[in-house]
Amino acid sequence: MTTDPHLLDDLEWRGLVAHATDRDALREALTADSVRFYVGFDPTAPSLHMGNLVQLLTARRLQQAGHTPYALVGGATGMIGDPRDSGERTLNSRDTVKEWVGRVRSQIEPFLEFDGPTGATMVDNYDWTASLSTIDFLRDIGKHFPVNRMLARDVVRSRLEAGISYTEFSYVLLQSMDFLNLHRDHGVTLQFGGSDQWGNLTGGVELIRRAEGGHAHAFATPLVTKADGTKYGKTEGGALWLDPQMLSPYAFHQFWLNVEDEKVGELLRIFTFLSREEIEELDVATAEQPFRRAAQKRLADEVTTLVHGAAETEQAKAAAAALFGGGELRDLDPGTLAAALREAGAATATVGTPTVDLLVASGLVKSKGEARRTITEGGAYLNNERVTDVDHVPGLEDLLGGSWLVLRRGKKNLAGVEVG
């Protein structure tokens, strides 16, 4: 397979190269032949998240351009965890990490092709780390790392006053050793990761030079943040998980649908495979008619389809439309309906609870008096049907998916009630 000579230009246009060891050398390597590259994922949680998705899609771009991926799941490094500014990680048990390794592997697999001349290879650094003796590790790896260079890393420097364990301090040695092993055993010459990994990425390049006299490359993708510079997440401090059990496809779709106008062009470049022309047309649409949210709609559809499939994307769109009167609620998949209502805000109630009380319990109104006025004025809806009787009590026949009611006040204020 021939390589795409325009790959680095495309990556840079998409804003995917925040740092690189030597851009000219990297361009020459990517143009000259099929490069074997690797990207790593530590199983420090039971699911990958939005930040990992940047790396998965970047790996896919490189493979589509004719290069050969090695996807590393850190069965060893996942037991330690990369240092964070916020403090020491909680160490997970070997059994927990082993389970998460399996889950992470299954999330990586759909994004890469494993057959053909550039077929991907999945590796686990536990395989070459578990049997390594402490003496060999210190002699063969540790001797190549000056302590002053390790102390100069931003995350280490920020943690020195509060304290950092030797375990996390040594993480850079383990990740660098991964690159060295893949270079020796598989001819891997390129590693990439998030810009918060830059110290680890360059550590591996330097280790290959010092230990082998070899030459390798690295580049870092930017950290994706909101317009105000804070991290993205489903909630403040929460992650945008790829596992549908941890974050429903509906909630996932809604996240992308609601990104800021200032960021939607950047996210289209990073997270979709749309062409430059298509994205620039959407940039114009956002600038000229932002209220139509054409770019956000396309972004939400593209990314949800990449992660969860086209069927889940259509279910998410159908649910959003039906909740606000644009479709038939009873046609929705029960799981999608439940996820959508929990995302909108859900209360619980027992069979036979009057609609007035349900409106209060759902938070759509503050009192029974306000609930009665809302019904009298024609502003209360149950399952998209206007409620006209202040004494109305929903029956079993009103339950959607066996246990749900959809309440709405006016056009835009929505809540779900789970009846049990």
pLDDT tens-digit map of 3-46: 787 999 999 999 999 999 999 999 999 998 999 999 999 999 99
Query: pLDDT: is 204 or 151 the higher one?
Result: 204
With 80 as the cut, is the pLDDT of residue 84 above it? no
* Res 89 pLDDT > 50: yes
d(CA 76, CA 88): 17
What whole-number distance in Å separates Cα of residue 379 and Cα of residue 409? 5
CA nearest to 153, candidates 197, 102, 104: 197
Please compute the mean of the pLDDT values over residues 193-217 and round it to a whole number. Answer: 93
Contacts of 319 (CB under 8 A, 6+ apart): 250, 332, 336, 337, 339, 340
* pLDDT for residue 237: 45
Distance CA 90, CA 94 (A): 13
Q: What number of CA atoms fall less than 13 Å from residue 320's CA on the CB side?
A: 18
The angle at the Cα of 48, spanning 283 to 60, to the nearest 5 degrees, equals 55
Pairwise CA distance, residues 392 & 353, whole Å: 9
Predicted pLDDT at 151: 74
Residue 378: the pLDDT is 94
Spatial CA neighbour of 269 closest among 11, 27, 63:
11
* Per-residue pLDDT tens digits for 227-276: 888 877 654 446 899 999 999 999 999 999 999 999 999 999 999 999 99
In the predicted structure, residue 162 carries a pLDDT above the cut 80: no
Whole-prediction pTM: 0.91
- Using pLDDT thresholds of 50, 70 and 90, give the confidence band for residue 415: very high
- Hey, which of 233-237, 267-271, 319-323, 351-355 has the most confident mean pLDDT? 267-271
